[in-house]
Structure 1
Amino acid sequence: MRKTWVVALAATMVMSATVGTAQARPGPQDTVRFATFNASLNRTAEGELLDDLSTPDDEQARAVAEVIQRSRPDVLLVNEFDYVPNNAAADAFRRNYLEVPQNGAEPIRYRYAYTAPVNTGVQTGHDLNRDGMVGGPDDAHGFGEFVGQYGMLVLSRYPIDTERVRTFRTFLWKDMPGALLPDDPATPEPADWYSPEILKTLRLSSKSHWDIPIRVGKRVVHVLAAHPTPPSFDGPEDRNGTRNHDEIRFWADYVTPGRGDYVYDDAGRRGGLSAGERFVIVGDYNADPFDGDSTDNAIQQLLDAPRVRDTAPASVGAVVAARLQGGANDAHRGRPWLDTADFGDESPGNLRVDYVLPSRGMKTGRSGVFWPVPGTRLDYLNDASDHHLVWVDVRP
């Protein structure tokens, strides 16, 4: 009965299934498509990604490029793109994949790219997970087998104002007022999983937080990019869940007037985003509004922020996938058409964890999630990553 239902749904909603897959992008000339895609272009060893992208033969990179070509975002955040200095990996990806037609999809050219160091693999010198050893990915400022693993990349058809970029990689977790620091349940003291010595140097961002001004005509739109740690892979102290919560809170405070005064960037400049500025928050935030392991409704801090608009990008493909997989998906409280990541039928199931959230000062148009209906022509692109590209059309 499940398969019969799925076939009927796919047949009756085939037009909806093409949302986000067409190469043509009708709409006003001044519409800008902002997108995020956790492309899983991370590798297991330093330098491996650059080697893979230096030829046009990497099968996964070709699939990722095709997803981007068929979605055609103007400004795109790529999560899990290992950091390589001097944009070397970004240049190779553009030259050998994005600017080459993939399976009949039209090439796409991004004149501008931005990447910067992240906290993954950068050692703290402390035993953060209390396994009795110092060193390794769990004891880094951000989980990583090497420095720069799971990095970020922003690609843009519009100029990036690199002189005004703000990065917050070194912001200390303890400097967030009321930080939700993890607690050792074996002791009576609150929030004491990390010693004062550790908190003197422990950074908030597991990768980084970037404020990247994009010039669209005479307007500036701030792309606020991040990739908080998953709220799992820890214990009852919830050290990853609490950190995920506060990494998300950082942007909620940053864009809310009067709440971001404590913020300081890597250059020492203090304060959040000015009230009149336009922005789009993008990234894999590893938090679903209803399901999964996130702490204290973490993502609602952004979705409920007064200046943030949620257009609720959706897809039919996610509904069909959840029905086919069943398992944990059947018990979810969230609406399956909003899912953005395919985590299968085991816990936690498919979730909404990837977001494109414009500021309320801009008009929005169409939005969607690139999730082809299983069994249809582009189904093979669902294997490009366990996440799906999310996009929103914005008129700055």
Structure 2
Amino acid sequence: MTSRVTRRRALVAAAAAGLGLPAAATVAEAAPAPARHSGRFQNLRVATFNASLNRSRDGQLLEDLATGEDPQIRAVAEVIQINNPDVLLLNEFDHDADGAGLDLFREKYLQVPQNGKSAVYYPYVFTAPVNTGVPSGMDLNRDGTVGGADDAWGFGEFPGQYGMAILSRYPILTDQVRTFQNLRWADMPSNLLPAEFYGPEISAELRLSSKSHWDVPVQVGPSTLHMLAAHPTPPSFDGPEKRNQRRNSDEIRLWADYLSPGRRSSWIVDDAGVQGGLAPQEQFVILGDYNSDPLDGDSWPGAIDQLLSHARVQDTTPRSTGAVEAATTQGGANKDHLGDPQFDTADFGDDPAPGNLRVDYVLPSRPLQVVSSAVYWPAQGSPGSELTGVHPFPTSDHRLVRVDLQIKS
């Protein structure tokens, strides 16, 4: 397989000024303590945030970032400053090949105190191309024409829309990064691909990942943690063939197989042509907006359970009080949900369905020591609630999810 992985494009930069947090200052709300040594262990906060930093046309996010004054981006930065993660996955951050967007986001927003919050510094970042908006040259939606967002390898108006990025205070081992942008859906054994809908030509070429899947190793002292990042397609906007439900489930299954030894992972080949999954002794954290709730919504049955029930994965069930309040206030589909609303991570209450759901995950490997976890969703009237709010949201319809770990130092 020809490699299209852009490791040489991987944007890993070390800035001397960004190797730690600045001295404490008087702030309206103190940020949580940064990573620190404690005996033989080091505290590490890992978070995921679908920040809705996507725009309707190519280059528009760069323009908004360059001003340093965009209200939504400032609010997103403030949420990050309050939660102060050591490693952060951003979903829906439009990708640009030069990484200019990430540079602007750090320089003009994260490293600038927002409403008195402490600035945050991430000397290491990783981003790479995604499938959204990349033309397939095929009629993927079977409407008789070729072209447009529905006929891209992943739904998008332009290449890189709804991209991903990882920001870290710790070194990213870019030479060991694995990406799976080009992995074909048909290569997955016993897949859910609706071959009758697509036909043999499309079925043979359709990519599994709607954005991409990344294994990004981060060096934390003597330990290496693999950040397994993804953003599977929403399991909606479907016809009777359920192509998006099926794809979402198999995108989730990719990581389940990747963590399984032997034949279950032997079909997986990364963009550099390397075969197989993650070795049993390696530690990891699964991150991202997986667009799948364990009990509610319109996912393929058991989709996210492929990870939640995996032998190598622990679910810390992050929660919030704001989610319970929102579900109660909004009513609608939330009244009929089977899941406990305290675990919700996304506010979809402006739609009649599906109601608020748990779709964003931070799932550490089982041997890792978990200290705490949370969803950043303050109750109305509490500090920070102005950053989550109600539709139209000042930041995103998703909430930042974080897990605090202790890593051997």
- What TM-score do the two structures reach when normalised by structure 2? 0.88
Per-residue CA distance 1:337-359 (angstroms, 9 max, x = gap): 00000001520000000000000
The separation in 2 between residues aligned to 1:28 and 1:156, in whole angstroms, is: 15
Q: Does 1:58 align with 2:38?
A: no
Number of paired residues? 368
Q: Is the 8 A contact 1:87 1:113 kept in 2?
A: no
Q: Is the 8 A contact 2:361 2:401 kept in 1?
A: yes
Per-residue CA distance 1:276-314 (angstroms, 9 max, x = gap): 000000000000000001002200000011100000000
* Residue in structure 2 matching 1:175, options 178, 187, 195: 187
- The amino acid of 1:376's aligned partner reads S
The separation in 2 between residues aligned to 1:117 and 1:26, in whole angstroms, is: 30
Q: Does 1:161 align with 2:166?
A: no
Q: Is the 8 A contact 2:130 2:212 kept in 1?
A: yes
Q: Within 5 Å, give how 1:235-314 maps onto structure 2.
A: 235-258=239-262, 259-314=264-319
The separation in 1 between residues aligned to 2:54 and 2:69, in whole angstroms, is: 16
The separation in 2 between residues aligned to 1:395 and 1:294, in whole angstroms, is: 33
- The amino acid of 1:317's aligned partner reads G
Q: Does 1:77 align with 2:107?
A: no
- The amino acid of 1:218's aligned partner reads P
Question: Which residue matches 1:41?
Answer: 53
- What TM-score do the two structures reach when normalised by structure 1? 0.91
Q: Is the 8 A contact 1:22 1:71 kept in 2?
A: no
The separation in 2 between residues aligned to 1:159 and 1:54, in whole angstroms, is: 26
The separation in 2 between residues aligned to 1:295 and 1:248, in whole angstroms, is: 11
Change (3 A) 1:27 1:153: closer
Q: Which moved more, 1:385-394 or 1:120-129?
A: 120-129
Q: Within 5 Å, give how 1:180-195 maps onto structure 2.
A: 180-182=192-194, 191-195=195-199
Q: Does 1:393 align with 2:404?
A: yes
Question: Which residue matches 2:326?
Answer: 321
Q: Does 1:142 align with 2:154?
A: yes
Question: Which residue matches 1:94?
Answer: 106
Q: Is the 8 A contact 2:89 2:167 kept in 1?
A: yes
Structure 1: gaps of 5 or more residues:
1-20, 183-190
Change (3 A) 1:314 1:22: farther
TM-superposed deviation, 1:156? 0.2
The separation in 2 between residues aligned to 1:109 and 1:73, in whole angstroms, is: 10
- The amino acid of 1:291's aligned partner reads D
* Residue in structure 2 matching 1:358, options 349, 364, 370: 364
Structure 2: gaps of 5 or more residues:
1-28
- The amino acid of 1:38's aligned partner reads N
Q: Is the 8 A contact 2:30 2:118 kept in 1?
A: no
Change (3 A) 1:22 1:325: farther
Q: Determine what percentage of the aligned residue pairs are the same residue.
A: 61
TM-superposed deviation, 1:380? 1.3
TM-superposed deviation, 1:108? 0.4
Question: What CA RMSD, in Å, does the superposition of the two structures yield over aligned residues?
Answer: 1.2
The separation in 1 between residues aligned to 2:30 and 2:202, in whole angstroms, is: 50
The separation in 1 between residues aligned to 2:30 and 2:140, in whole angstroms, is: 46
The separation in 2 between residues aligned to 1:325 and 1:377, in whole angstroms, is: 21
TM-superposed deviation, 1:28? 6.2
